Amino acid sequence: MSALTTVDVKIFRYEFINIFRLIEARTLHPADISILESIDDSLTHYERDKETVYLAKELINRMRILTDPLMVQYRVCTPQRQRYGWMVVLEQQL
Residue 42 belongs to some domain of the structure: yes
pLDDT above 70 for 17: yes
Rank 31-35, 65-69, 88-92 by mean pLDDT and report only the highest.
31-35
Please check whether residue 2 lies inside any domain of the structure: no
Question: Number of folded domains in the chain?
Answer: 1
Residue 87 covered by a domain: yes
Is residue 56 included in any domain, yes or no?
yes
| Boundaries of domain holding 29 | 7-93
In a domain, 12, yes or no: yes
69 inside domain: yes
Residue 31 pLDDT exceeds 70: yes
Task: For residue 72, give Cα distances in angstroms to 28, 53, 65, 87, 90.
Answer: 30, 26, 9, 20, 28
pLDDT at residue number 81:
44
Q: Global pTM?
A: 0.65
Does residue 70 lie within any of the structural domains?
yes
At residue 30 the predicted structure's pLDDT band, cuts being 50, 70 and 90, is: confident
